[in-house]
Chain A
């Protein structure tokens, strides 16, 4: 209350003062009621579609792999995000009812990472591999911003994140090789974002015998049930890498792949020289030890057979006796990774 207002009130008689106070209180009450009515009306106006999207997450056990619902009020443009702060690539196994509902990049023109990795081979990149990851104060993470379009009630799309998907394993191995060969810079695999390179890399390494064996053994390491069963596969991986680097035919193809992965920013000759030098180097013990130790630490955090799963589904909101709601909700089993941002006053649609 300003000093001038106080002066005016002080000049009034006591009875007049009481009347003024009453009027002011009534005015505030009126504003409150109008505001509440307006918000309720706005929510009711939004409820154009007779169905809503719900999003459910399962097995998001660690804070390094998270799901966030960006905006799922519009079932035709339900948007959500996936974040990865681990060192592993994840493949995205997608299934839907009816078939054909797939997640696409929410902003295909401005988000190169999402546009690239939600193409023909859906993948969730790890942190510190691409130059566009983010730092949230505690750890780096890579983000995919996705959207799904539903056209009616009763539809469902499921996304399973798996680190043992063959393409994800391929990219894990390439990161491992770059580190082994002495690449000290992180966020260097920008070449994967170049048009056509990702498919080119996959088709090239599929023709390499030792690389295929390495993939098999590395997958065995990732799916090991206990620490004791990791070591033999880690040893096999070390042997496969030694053979891969020593084979002159595979050497050339591998140089080409590593050159493209790094965005051609390093001369091919330099990579070839490194590979040749490494054939004379004792690194088997180091790579075996590294794979064994790293995977043993991850065993407790990424229990196999319980991959993170996201389910988006549309449900009819026109159930008799229930006030229609257009807002989506997120339910989660296990450790919740995200609190829904939609208004809490809404009623969850009935299944």
Chain B
């Protein structure tokens, strides 16, 4: 029984570690937004030139006033019609250059996506707090420090990754949360099973004892003083209590038996 208890404690601790430190993991790939501005704001996309890594995802958000469908010149992708305010996403699984345009205004709306290998370091996005501090300093007419220093207060999570390392799929937050949850559930289930088994065992023992006592009581009634209760049985406290409950008014007989 102690072993099962220890096992449960281990499971709970193990899963808690993952649940307590979710900030140590980062998302899979990057997601970058390209804004569709419309033919009036040529070349129609912001940014019109985008460089990203393999397996990064581009989300096209239509902020124009009409619907557009996107077509890659090399046929690598084509979207359905993206209504105003809606979005469409595409992930690039290999390196290469993709020129694209809209089906509606091909001469006014063009863009370019350059997909490079994950080994190529791209310019990082500034940490939001550092960026905010820089803007505040420049606005105040001061010079930002040469080496950016993060304030002591905890930093909010960034929308873009801060490093160029690609994280493992197994350590993505959804996987970890799900895994941790399953482990916790398993631990609770094991605990409940062990408690149930213990409870069942106790009931079985009681029933067994009760049956044997009843048999003994029945035997003693028919044979009267011919059979004596063995001293070991007499000493069992549970048996004694059962006897006391069962006899209920035959105390004199019991006393006689004891005597």
Contact = CB atoms under 8 A, between A and B. Distances in A.
A262 B131 CA distance: 9
Interface string A233-277: 000000000000000000000000010001111110011011001
Contact of B138 (A139, A183, A191, A273): A191
Interface stretch (B114-122, B195-203, B209-217): B114-122
A267 to B, nearest CB: 7
A128 interface: yes
The B interface is mostly helix, strand or loop, or mixed, namely loop
Interface string A27-43: 00000000000000000
Interface residues of B, number: 51
A188 B112 contact: no
A23 interface: no
Contacts of B120: 274, 277-278, 280-281
B135 A176 contact: no
Interface residues of A, number: 56
B3 to A, nearest CB: 52
Contacts of B44: 297
A184 B50 contact: yes
B156 interface: no
B166 interface: no
A21 B97 CA distance: 81
B49 A185 contact: no
Interface string B47-63: 11111100000000000
Given A180-B51, A265-B134, A274 B123 contact: yes
B43 A87 contact: yes
B42 A297 contact: yes
A149 interface: no
B97 A286 contact: yes
Contacts of A281: 116-117, 120
A265 B112 contact: no
Given A128-B46, A195-B141, A266 B123 contact: yes
Interface in B98-114: 99, 101, 107-110, 112, 114
Interface centre among A64, A176, A293 (most CB of B within 10 A): A293
Interface in B1-60: 30, 32, 37-38, 40-44, 46-52
A202 interface: no
B51 A181 contact: yes
Nearest to A179: B49
A199 interface: no
A211 B123 CA distance: 20
B165 interface: no
Interface stretch (B144-152, B167-175, B222-230, B246-254): B144-152
Contacts of B134: 190-191, 263-265
Contacts of A297: 42-44, 107-110
B43 A286 contact: no
Given A185-B160, A194-B144, A263-B138, A277 B119 contact: yes
26 contacts: A86-B41, A138-B41, A138-B65, A139-B38, A140-B46, A176-B49, A178-B123, A182-B51, A184-B32, A184-B160, A185-B160, A191-B138, A263-B144, A265-B144, A266-B126, A266-B148, A267-B147, A271-B123, A281-B120, A283-B114, A289-B97, A289-B112, A293-B112, A294-B43, A294-B48, A297-B109
Interface of B: 30, 32, 37-38, 40-44, 46-52, 65, 97, 99, 101, 107-110, 112, 114, 116-117, 119-127, 130-131, 134-135, 138-139, 141, 143-148, 160
Given A87-B46, A183-B123, A289-B99, 16 more contacts: A131-B135, A138-B40, A139-B38, A182-B52, A182-B116, A182-B122, A184-B160, A188-B126, A191-B144, A193-B139, A270-B123, A286-B51, A290-B112, A293-B99, A293-B110, A297-B110
